[in-house]
Amino acid sequence: MPGKPRTPREVVQEHEHRYAPDADRPLGGYLAVLSSFGTGVVGAALAARCAGRRAPQDLSTRELVLLTLATHKLSRMVSKDAVASPFRAPFTRYTGTSAPAEVAEEVRGKGLRHAVGELITCPFCLAPWVASALLVLRAASPATARTCYSGLAAVAGSDFLQFAYAAAQERHSPGD
């Protein structure tokens, strides 16, 4: 005779334990985060379709480069900039500074809080979300998107120039 049916939470907890018996890996939280991403993408696509908007068929090389730079910069700003720390604070704990103009934070909490903390402190993890949001903006308002892409790309380029300038100053500092 079959036992009592398990709840989805019990199934996820069993998978969490079997997946990483000696580590706290919030698979349920990850599932919720992934579900919200999928729901957001589908929702944006449906809203665009209802509004008579179409996704770009293909981006020019120039626009793809701008989108790439904008995605890089916005992902780093959200996940590492000190001024964005109020958004990350419910999920993280400040531990110091890391790279120039960036903070180091550790993820706190369990379950969904931990999963969201991992997402918003990882620029690599945020990049698909940011790129998707920028592409939704592109479908909704191409001119606004190009302005946004260009501004973020300029800031990303400026960052690299700041690093190059600092490296050049270090190489040519008096006393060498």
What letter does residue 105 receive in the DSSP assignment?
E
Q: Quick one: angle between helices 142-171 and 61-80, nearest 10?
A: 70
Contact (Cβ atoms closer than 8 angstroms) between residue 17 and residue 99: no
pLDDT tens digits for 23-51?
778 888 999 999 999 999 999 888 888 88
pTM of the entire structure?
A: 0.83
Question: pLDDT tens, 132-171?
Answer: 999 989 988 889 999 999 999 999 999 999 999 989 998 9
The amino acid occupying position 148 is: C
